[in-house]
A and B are shown apart, each in its own frame.
Chain A
Amino acid sequence: MHKPRLQLQASFDIAYLQYLDKQGQATQPLPDFATPDWLSHCHRQMQLARLVDDRAVKLQRTGRLGTYPSTLGQEAIGVATANALMAEDVYCPYYRETGALLERGVEIEEILAIWGGDERGQNFQHAPKDLPICVPIATQMLHAAGVAFALKYRHQQNNQPLQVAVASSGEGATSKGDFYEAMNLAGVWKLPMVFVVNNNQWAISVPRNAQTATQTIAQKAIAAGIPALQVDGNDVVAVAWAVRDAMERARRGEGAALVEAMSYRLCDHTTADDASRYRSASELEQAWQWEPVKRLDNYLRAQGLWSDAKQQDLDRELAQVMEVALTNWESRAPEPVTAMFDHLYARLPEGLYEQYDQLRDEQQGVAE
């Protein structure tokens, strides 16, 4: 058999970044931003996310919340990503982002409202330009590309600093056309945006190796002409470095980048899922060995920055925060039923007056 002689036309490398190993020991000097205060802040926010998450699952189990997607084991990705944004940047989250939303200033009661079936939760009062969480897969990446265009357009018109749009997703989302189309446009239009892919190994029941034949998710960005790297997603410092670096690059007008954060979904896909049907207990047990909170905890203790006493204080503080949020959430006045029409169009079209009145009257018990 004749084999034609081929010339190498292109080549690429995908780098991998880690600062804290599985035991929480530094594998290289930490970056300047990783001060004791910053590390303690991340430590607190990751634990808050874990607590909110745990309570949300319990609320679902007792019928007080609808289906909820837990973020257990992936807290470092959300917290580090959202922490890298400035207030004016725009975050375009997928649905598994309790840690990121909290870090972004979204309140616990808003998160509970969303999963408790109340659209008012998406009114993100402290992040007014961020997109609502996105349930369809990968569509938020195209929205982020549009947001990035708008930010670049504003920057060119007003000469204000360039802001950045950040889209988050799971690795399953990278199987969709929306992902490729968004990266392609981000590359060709040099959009100020960052893709953060949470590679938690499972798209519901389909494992990563049944999702794609590529060695890394990161290399998918190569085809779009944008840089990418892989980081240890359970290492909050590594995620933060990568996202910050990508943001700075975008802010300088150099375009988009992708960060693949390697992690593991320690929970079921959602409260409606039972992961024991499709993955082994031993795999799960192994994954617990490198989860992000414990790793940072170990590091902080080794540095003399953390102790049992401090942990007890934090536990008390977070429990208090959670209780206040639960009370606020549960004491919310229910939304009037007519809200389903109030925000459908800017002004209710005349053709809908009749349905609006019918709904209002039904609620008031006027109609017989």
Chain B
Amino acid sequence: MAAQDNGITLVEAVTQALAFELKNDPQVVVFGQDIGANGGVFRATDGLQKTYGADRVLDTPLAETMIAGIAVGMATQGLRPIAEFQFMGFIYPGLDHILSHAARMRNRTRGRLSCPIVYRAPYGGGIHAPEHHSESTEAMFTHIPGLRVVVPSSPARAYGLLLAAIRDPDPVLFLEPKRIYRAAKQPVPDDGEALPLDRAFVLREGADLTLVAWGASIKETLAAAEQLSREGIEADVIDPATLKPLDIHTIIDSLEKTRRCVIVHEAARFGGLGAEIAAQIQEYAFDLLDAPVQRVTGYDAVMPYYQLENAYLPGVERILAGARAALEYVRDSGE
């Protein structure tokens, strides 16, 4: 496939991982709307039906509840279903099955049955899509016990984490940041090597500040770190990648060094995952902090139509402002 010099995009890495598992595990089946002949609306399943057949790569009727629900039944009988939702904004009809059944099957049968499912969904704003196509509601799903929520932020991590998600014995919601589906290319060898789940990735190292971000926001966060570096401020940039269960220890380890933290996400702020990370930081590392944890997030507003979406999404300037607030904070002795 496309492992040329300049590499492949994130969405091509998704295709590459799906193809690898279809080829190597006959229990894997891939299904969703328009994923067969059309190769998916983002082409994430491009060519798979042609290669692996219409009995393993299946177009379903248009019904998200059904897509989520049949995955549960398939998985309980030993298949490895990979279900695609066209957009995260359309996942909600399937929530009943993800929450009430997929995430609980192992527990309620005391390990007799399990749901090794991957639910894939492109998520996030920034591609000038219509209403309901730009949501970033990952925090809702991180609240569900028994579920994993995984978000890749590069082609290599998309490939390695998707392989891990497919091979994992439990259900995984795999959210693909569609804004960076084709933003960059990277060589990704098709060697079937999975990356670890439940482990954060340190994308950049520095002693002055900890920046935590995931998905498409990694792009602006790395750009902000670059800008800060030019000003002589070096930041750790941490991508949790698995949002649930969260690897807080990598973040705490970073704070031992930097003592200041900014969390960046494009989801709305209230009850967002930034709140959970900030709460855990103060539980585990209150004494380490030299400044309150800053959150740079989307607004607690409905994701606007695309003419206003750039005003909604946290950009480099907003991240820099958050970083400066963290860096410049001086504790008032209060005496």
Contacts and interface: CB of A to CB of B under 8 A. Distances in A.
A197 interface: no
B331 interface: no
A156 B72 CA distance: 20
Given A349-B245, A350-B245, A143 B73 contact: yes
Nearest to A90: B77
Contact of A145 (B69, B79, B105, B248): B69
Nearest to B247: A351
Interface residues of B, number: 47
B321 to A, nearest CB: 31
B50 interface: no
Contact of A119 (B71, B77, B108): B108
Contacts of B68: 142
Contacts, number: 144
Contact of B100 (A90, A139, A147, A177): A139
Interface stretch (A182-190, A314-322, A359-367): A182-190
Given A156-B55, A157-B26, A346 B170 contact: yes
Best-surrounded residue of B26, B72, B81, B170 (most CB of chain A within 10 A): B72
Best-surrounded residue of B65, B73, B107, B247 (most CB of chain A within 10 A): B73
Interface in A337-367: 339-340, 342-346, 349-352
B66 A343 contact: no
Nearest to A92: B73
B49 to A, nearest CB: 15
Contacts of A184: 61, 63, 66
Interface in B231-264: 245-249
Contacts of A120: 110
Contacts of B248: 351
A146 B107 contact: no
Contacts of A154: 77
Contacts of A129: 76-77, 113
A150 B77 contact: yes
B69 A344 contact: no
For chain A, the bracket of interface size reads 35 or more
A153 interface: yes
A124 to B, nearest CB: 7
Contacts of B74: 146-147, 149-150
Contacts of A339: 110
Contact of A131 (B76, B78, B169, B245): B76
B309 interface: no
Given A143-B76, A181-B65, A351 B198 contact: yes
Contact of B146 (A148, A182, A345): A345
A343 B110 contact: yes
B2 interface: no
A346 B107 CA distance: 10
Contacts of B333: none
A320 B97 CA distance: 41
A4 interface: no
Contacts of B192: none
A116 B78 CA distance: 29
A119 B248 CA distance: 31
B101 A139 contact: yes
Interface in A96-139: 119-120, 122-124, 128-129, 131-132, 136, 139
B245 A352 contact: yes
B69 A182 contact: yes
Nearest to B101: A139
B170 A136 contact: no
Interface string B48-89: 000000010000110101101111111111110100000000
B327 to A, nearest CB: 29
B79 A143 contact: no
A157 B25 CA distance: 13
B307 interface: no
A144 B96 contact: no
Contacts of A21: none
19 contacts: A119-B110, A123-B112, A136-B96, A149-B29, A153-B29, A154-B77, A157-B26, A177-B93, A178-B69, A181-B63, A181-B65, A343-B107, A344-B146, A346-B106, A346-B168, A346-B170, A349-B198, A351-B248, A352-B245
Interface of B: 26, 29, 55, 60-61, 63, 65-66, 68-79, 81, 93, 96-97, 100-101, 105-114, 145-146, 168-170, 198, 245-249
